Amino acid sequence: MRCTGLLGAALGAAIALFCFPGCDKSKIEIYRVEKEHDSQTSQMPGAPGGMSGRGAVIWQAPTDWEEQPASGPRRGTFKIHGKDGSEAELSITAFPGDVGGLLANVNRWRGQIQLPPLAQSDLAQATTPLSASGRAILFVDIVSAKPIKDGKKSRILGGTLALDDETWFFKLIGPDELVGAQKEQFKRFLETIKVEGTPALASSAENTGSKTNAPTPPTLAPITPPFEYKTPPGWIPQPLAPMRLASFKVAGSNGAEADISVVSLAGIAGGDLANINRWRDQLKLPPVSETELASISSHLNARGHDFLVTDLVSTEPLPPSQRKMRIVAAASQQGEQTWFVKMTGDVDLVEAQKNHFFDFLRGLSISDISRSDESAAHQ
């Protein structure tokens, strides 16, 4: 009997346990809470970035643009009225990620005014980079081919701002005439845009600071240049040396040689004067002062990059070749990086190769430097 009693108890307990899991959790709750003062606390983790509040983006709009109440995902809306009662609308939106990339975004806008999509190769021509407090904003201006609305052509002025994890879009759309008249004002508006809080670059500088030095930066960067170039005839690519992004040799008659190097360094790397004096020092020339700088250097514009170019010849033969040496060098500041292109060698050979050197500069495309910067920042 004892056994059955215990058994019964066990069964009962088990059945009781069975029934618990069925507890109904779906009950409506009602409670009072204090008003939330800090809207930040309500931001959800990982909510699509466009709707989360990190580093606020702020701008200053012209006074004649009429601000509309923000709605939903729109970060801002402005209406612009023309004299003839026409109306254009500026919408400001932000989305997580890069939303398909620049090409996709430009083509989306083109689609909105019934223009055919662009190819990647045409993209560079269609956009103009603007700078707003140190950040690049890409500006686009497109006009429809045929009338779209009310018998008028439509026009879009757009700006895209890529932040760490979200992309901001500023789009002014409306009749061609009205929007066209606003072009300069719109550009100025884009240039007022600021990112508050921690700007992307500052935080990435924190991460790449030599102190923390993360353990696994794939520092093959020096092996594979983050830029494109055309090799002039007669230049022989050399095995990559440390720090050099590209390296070439040219051979002249009777053993003369010239060496061409491309180097990119973080920061302003000493400034123009220091760089030229460093090169002068290599040719055993005395340093020059700031005032003399202009007389021994010139500027060359190649693909939107401004190069400071100098051409120096040593006054006496130098070791190891015991010939007179010449340096033709160019330096250009690109964002956070300074780029150096330098040709060193026998004075006559360098003279002969000078045109090739300038061709090389003109053919240099370092447009994706921002991307490689970013990858460096993530190391």
Out of 47, 145, 236, 296, which residue is the one contacting another protein (CB under 8 A)?
Answer: 47
- DSSP H stretches of helix in 57-100: none
CA distance 173 to 142: 10
Is residue 106 within 8 A of residue 135, CB to CB? The reply is: no
Instruction: Give 58 or 223: the residue with its C-beta nearer to another protein.
Output: 223
Out of 10, 56, 145, 205, which residue is the one contacting another protein (CB under 8 A)?
Answer: 10
Out of 6, 56, 58, 236, which residue is the one contacting another protein (CB under 8 A)?
Answer: 6
What is the secondary structure of 325-367 as a DSSP string?
Answer: EEEEEEEEEETTEEEEEEEEEEHHHHHHHHHHHHHHHHH-B-T
Closest by Cα among 179, 161, 162 to 170: 161
Judged by CB under 8 A, the stretch of 22-30, 115-123, 151-159, 353-361 that binds another protein is 22-30
Out of 117, 217, 317, 335, which residue is the one contacting another protein (CB under 8 A)?
Answer: 217
- What residues between 282 and 321 interact with another protein by CB under 8 A? 287, 289
User: For 318, which DSSP code?
Assistant: B
CA distance 173 to 153: 11
Closest by Cα among 183, 191, 196 to 90: 183
Instruction: Give 1 or 119: the residue with its C-beta nearer to another protein.
Output: 1
Out of 46, 151, 255, 319, which residue is the one contacting another protein (CB under 8 A)?
Answer: 46
Cross-strand partners of 210: none
- What residues between 86 and 145 interact with another protein by CB under 8 A? 93, 95, 99, 108, 111-112
CA distance 327 to 346: 9
Is residue 200 within 8 A of residue 376, CB to CB? The reply is: no
Cα 150 to Cα 109, 175, 178, 311, distances in angstroms: 19, 9, 13, 61
Considering the rule CB under 8 A, would residue 146 count as an interface residue with another protein? no
Out of 69, 72, 85, 320, which residue is the one contacting another protein (CB under 8 A)?
Answer: 72
Judged by CB under 8 A, the stretch of 50-58, 227-235, 300-308, 356-364 that binds another protein is 50-58
Strands 305-313 and 87-96: unpaired
The 8 Å CB, 24+ separation contacts for 61-64 are 61/90, 61/189, 62/185, 62/188, 62/189
Considering the rule CB under 8 A, would residue 77 count as an interface residue with another protein? no
- What residues between 321 and 350 interact with another protein by CB under 8 A? none
- What residues between 157 and 186 interact with another protein by CB under 8 A? none
Judged by CB under 8 A, the stretch of 3-11, 114-122, 136-144, 296-304 that binds another protein is 3-11
Considering the rule CB under 8 A, would residue 355 count as an interface residue with another protein? no
- What residues between 220 and 249 interact with another protein by CB under 8 A? 220, 222-224, 239-243
Considering the rule CB under 8 A, would residue 203 count as an interface residue with another protein? yes
For another protein, how many residues bind (rule: CB under 8 A)?
83
Beta carbons within 10 angstroms of residue 33's beta carbon: 5
- What residues between 250 and 279 interact with another protein by CB under 8 A? 265-266, 269-271, 273-275, 277-278
